[in-house]
Structure formats: structure tokens, C-alpha cells
Amino acid sequence: MATQKSKVVVTRDLGPDVLGKLREDPSVDLFVWPPDCGCDRNWLLEEAEGAVGLVVTLTDKVDEELLTRAGANLKVVSTMSVGYEHVDLAGLAKRGVRLGYTPDVLNGAVADLSIMLALMAGRNGGNALAHVRNGEWPNISWSPFGWCGPQLSGTVGGPKKTVGFLGFGRIAQVTLNRLVGFEITRCIYTTRIGSPPKKDLEDSLTEKHRRVNPGFEGVRQVDLKTLARESDVLFILAPGGAETRHIVNEELLREMKRTSVLVNTSRGSLVDSDALAKALREGWIWGAGLDVVEGEPDVTADHPLVKQPSCVIVPHIGSATFATRTDMANTAVANVLAVLSNKPMVSEKRV
């Protein structure tokens, strides 16, 4: 007796190696959005009908409309991302649909990019690159304090360096690992409002990092205002959504040091773009490095942040390394296959 195949819809071409795992599975009837560009919404709505699994990316909205169109067969939505703001969790929960996602595999890549942006923003990287590209180098000769900016790393006998994290999950901790090599002095962080300090974690990280950098004073939870006031570099690494929307606003930015740098590699919605543009324009902070901007990808040359020379912006490339994107795609596919074969997912987000 022929077994009934499960329809799986994938919204991007994940390459022959990764998709091969679905293609070669005899229980799967595979539908892939063919062009290498964002999946057409109408195509997805049509193809989703009767699907058992949907493999999506953060540009595909998994909302009431899509879930209704998919219908009662749908068992799993698997997103090739650690973030899941594009997924209606309540809609999944009420239908008993499970959610797969891809945490951990991208920690290193996002941490690397966070540091790249901190360095670029602190050392006038965006402006300096534009200067050379525009052919302006011959017009300005080297000068003792030309192009100077704040130094990320500690200097012998120099001021103490404090790095701050708004959100202290896995990516933040991997970023801190890398920063310890920059001889920073201390780390402060805030997590969800009202959540108690992660005392054991603070102690173990302090001990671990002191072994590498004896001058490291430690890791400590602080309130949001203290985080803004004391951070030389403030990394935003918290989830998006209603709870954190515009948590970085005018009030918070006004608390920061004039020499400090803001880095956002989580979600654009955490930062009020107009307030940040004003802060950069009026010099309340030194610079900003952004991988994400609210309203992306509609961030054009006339966007107030793009117009700020001290703002370095890249188009959401935090996880964009060959190794990491391959791991993310493999995890997303493995999550769907696990549900189809009644096995535990590699990474499941409880809804």
C-alpha cells in the first residue's frame, strides 16, 4: 500500500545539498519557491494549502491568513532564523502547530559582526571608506588627530573599558568571549524587566574571563539607565516584539556618553530610528553600527540614519557566512523532517 506523502513548502532555494534531504525523503512531496528572491506571498498562500510543513525565513509572515490557508494538515512551521517575530505564536498554539527555529548555530557569526560594527562605528569606518571610495584621499594628508575615534580595546594605564549588553543571551555571551581578548575592564548587562541577576553565570563568566585577562573586573547586572550611562560600547542583543519596541529611545540615548558607540544586531524595532539619528546628529553619542533598522528593507538613501556619517549600516547580514547559513538551512530542514517522523526537533520553540 502506497504511503501518503506529506506536502512540505519551502520559501527559498536552500541549495541542492540541503534541499536534497527533503527531495530524497520518500515521504515528502516538496514545493520550493524557485527564483532566488523573496517568496511571492500569493504563491505561498496557494502552495500552503494542505501543507504539513512550511520552511520559511524571516521575510515570510506566518500570520492568521497563511495558517488558515494551510489548514488542518499543518503540523510544523520551521523558520531558518533565531528570531521569530514574523510568526504568530498564538496562531500556532491554538492550532497545535509546532515551531522550529535555528538558535546557537549563528551565535559566532552574529558575535563577529557585532564586533565588526563596534570597531567600524568607533573608528569612523563608514566615513573613512566613503572618503577613499569617493577619491578624496589625496585631498587630506595624514594628521596627528585626523580620523581619531575612541578605542574599543583597553590601553596600558588608560581608562577602564566597559561593554554593555541590552539582552544577555547566548549571542551576547559569545560576543563577550571575543571582547575579553580586547582587554576590556568589565561587562554590564540588563535582561528582561524584573528578572533577577544571573548570579552563577556572572561568577563563572568573571572567573573564566579573568584567566585570560587578569584586569577583567567582572560581569554584573544593572538597570537600563546605568547600562546607558556606563557602557563605552552598548550592544543591543535582545528579542524584538512589543515588549522591547523602542527601548532605545531619546531618553535612554541622552544618558549615554558622548564617546560611546551603539551596536544593534538583533531587531530594528528595539531602536527609535529618529531618536538615534538626532543623537548622532547632535553628538550625544559617538557613533552607531547597525545590522538591522526598523522598517527594513525599506531603508533608502534619504533615511535619517543613512544620512548620518557616524552611522555604519549593513543590510541584516549578521548570520551571513557560508558555514552559518548552511547550518541554519540544515537545522530548518532537520526540524521539519523530525516532526514528520515523530522525532524531537533539533531546536523547537515552545509556543
Name residues contacting ligand DGY, limited to 269-298 (CB under 6 A).
none
Name residues contacting ligand DGY, limited to 298-337 (CB under 6 A).
316, 318-319
Residue 214 has which C-alpha cell?
587578569
Among 30, 32, 58, 89, binds ligand DGY (CB under 6 A): 58
What angle is formed at CA 288 by the lines to CA 205 and CA 143, rounded to 5 degrees?
A: 105
Please tell me whether residue 164 binds ligand DGY under the rule CB under 6 A: no
Instruction: Give the nearer residue to ligand DGY in terms of CB position, either 219 or 332.
Output: 332
Query: How many angstroms separate the CA atoms of 18 and 26, rounded?
Result: 16
Among 55, 56, 82, 179, binds ligand DGY (CB under 6 A): 82
Q: What is the contact mask toward ligand DGY in residues 84 to 113, using x (rule: CB under 6 A)?
A: ----------------------x-------
Q: How far is the CB of 58 from ligand DGY (least distance, A)?
A: 5
Stretch near ligand DGY under the rule CB under 6 A, chosen from 78-86, 239-247, 301-309, 342-350 = 78-86
Q: What are phi and psi of 76, to 5 degrees?
A: -145, 135
The residue from 98, 123, 186, 267 that is catalytic is 267
Instruction: Give the nearer residue to ligand DGY in terms of CB position, either 81 or 330.
Output: 81
The residue from 316, 325, 348, 350 that is catalytic is 316
Q: How far is the CB of 54 from ligand DGY (least distance, A)?
A: 16
Stretch near ligand DGY under the rule CB under 6 A, chosen from 46-54, 79-87, 130-138, 156-164 = 79-87
The residue from 245, 296, 303, 348 that is catalytic is 296
Query: How many angstroms separate the CA atoms of 294 and 312, rounded?
Result: 15
Query: Do the Cβ atoms of 149 and 118 come closer than 8 Å?
Result: no
Among 6, 11, 78, 81, binds ligand DGY (CB under 6 A): 81
Q: How far is the CB of 84 from ligand DGY (least distance, A)?
A: 8
Residue 254 falls in the annotated catalytic set: no
Largest CA distance in the chain: 81
Q: How far is the CB of 114 from ligand DGY (least distance, A)?
A: 12
Instruction: Give the nearer residue to ligand DGY in terms of CB position, either 83 or 218.
Output: 83
Instruction: Give the nearer residue to ligand DGY in terms of CB position, either 89 or 128.
Output: 89
The neighbour count for residue 138, using CB atoms within 10 Å, is 6
Among 50, 83, 218, 304, binds ligand DGY (CB under 6 A): 83
Residue 296 falls in the annotated catalytic set: yes
Size of residue set near ligand DGY by CB under 6 A: 8
Q: How far is the CB of 318 from ligand DGY (least distance, A)?
A: 4
Residue 131 falls in the annotated catalytic set: no
Kind and range of the H or E run holding 334: helix 322-340
User: What are the Cα distances from residue 293, in Å, to 99, 249, 264?
Assistant: 25, 14, 8
Q: What are phi and psi of 328, to 5 degrees?
A: -65, -45
Q: Tell me, what DSSP letter sits at residue 164?
A: E
User: What are the Cα distances from residue 118, in Å, to 182, 236, 312, 313?
Assistant: 12, 11, 9, 11
**SS3 track for 187-242:** EEEECCCCCCCCHHHHHHHHHHHHHHCCCCCEEEECCHHHHHHHCCEEEECCCCCH
Residues ≥6 apart with Cβ < 8 Å to 339: 53, 75, 76, 98, 100, 345
Stretch near ligand DGY under the rule CB under 6 A, chosen from 81-89, 164-172, 228-236, 278-286 = 81-89
The beta strand positions in 111-201, using DSSP E, are 162-166, 186-190
Peptide bond into 34 cis (omega under 30): no
Positions annotated as catalytic residues are 267, 296, 316
* Chain contacts with ligand DGY (rule: CB under 6 A): 58, 81-83, 106, 316, 318-319
